[in-house]
Amino acid sequence: MKKAVAFVLLFACLLFSIGCTGAQELQKVELHEVTRSVFYAPQYVAISKGFFEEEGLEINVTTSGGSDKAMSALLSGQADICLAGPETGVYVVNEGKADHPIIVGQLTKRDGSYLIGRQPEPNFDWKSLKGKTIIGGRAGGMPLMTLQYVLKSHGLVPGVDVEVIDSIQFNLMGGAFDGGTGDYVTLFEPTATEFELAGKGHIVANVGLASGEVPYTVYLVSQTMLEENSDFVKRFLRAVYRAQIWIQTASDEEVAMAMEPFFPDASLDSLKIVANSYRETDSWKQDPVMQEADYNRLLDIIQEAGELSARPDFQTLVDNRIAEQVVADAD
């Protein structure tokens, strides 16, 4: 009898142990990001502050080096979710793919790049770029198209009044400028500030402020993921939204410290400067819901750049249902 009781107790303990172990297991998530930038601070905050872990998610971040590469990873199944420019989703829809990706959340709301020159220009005027050469990003990418949009709004025609180099890979633009190519280059943070601190260039303008608000960086998943694992998407966006809320009241130093593990080559002081810069320019979205009016402005920019064969309906590419539910649940 005693042996039987002991066996039952032992079996119960084993079941309890297995149950506890299972409860502690995290769902592994492959996230491919367009590039590594302080511009995406809320994402790194969500990781370092443990918001994803509290949702049962273990995030493995791969930096793709371009929105097209992040999208390729999603389409091939290498990524569960990707952080990329929404234009990549537009292109895939216009290619006629039935199982095209879906935008489920928005992270940033304006261009995050800065125009870097070789000399200080405290009274910079966009019209002064006439006759100059700018390294502007890859053809069809948001950095280049937003820059072209700004140039045109100041009466400059790319290719006529100003030469814009669009053949240099995104993550090689800074090196090309440092090597002597071009009069100006557009760079994201923390690279822009690091260039200035190292005396390699000078920040003369903020492209995002000049272009206005636009859904610049978004999260995309496959239709299959959205249909079969919507709970994962909800938990992911809930962690992101917590970070979006947290960052609004956190100090620049707190934001910098939360991002520090993701930027080992950047000093805490430079991260504080950059965090303040993006905060001052209101670059981070306060919630993950994309607005249709902003989406249409995005299409206007792509169309003006000559890269839009058709204007996909908002409902075709964007699904706000989970993001809206996440926001509503938090209220």
Q: What is the pLDDT of residues 239-295, one digit of tens each?
A: 999 999 999 999 999 999 999 999 999 899 999 999 999 999 999 999 999 999 999
Residue 144 has what pLDDT? 93
Residue numbers of the domain that contains 136: 114-211
Residue 65 has what pLDDT? 86
Residue 301 has what pLDDT? 92
Residue 170 has what pLDDT? 80
Please tell me the distance from the alpha carbon of residue 5 to that of residue 200, in angstroms, as a whole number.
76
Q: Kindly give the parts of the chain with pLDDT less than 50.
A: 1-22
Q: Is residue 173 part of a domain?
A: yes
CB 112 within 8 A of CB 37: yes
105 & 219 share domain: yes
Query: Which CATH number is 299's domain given?
Result: 3.40.190.10
Cα–Cα nearest to 114, from 105, 124, 106, 104: 124
319 & 218 share domain: yes
One-letter-per-residue 3-state SS of 142-157: HHHHHHHHHHHHCCCC
pTM score: 0.85
222 & 268 share domain: yes
Point out the domain boundary residue: 195, 211, 227: 211
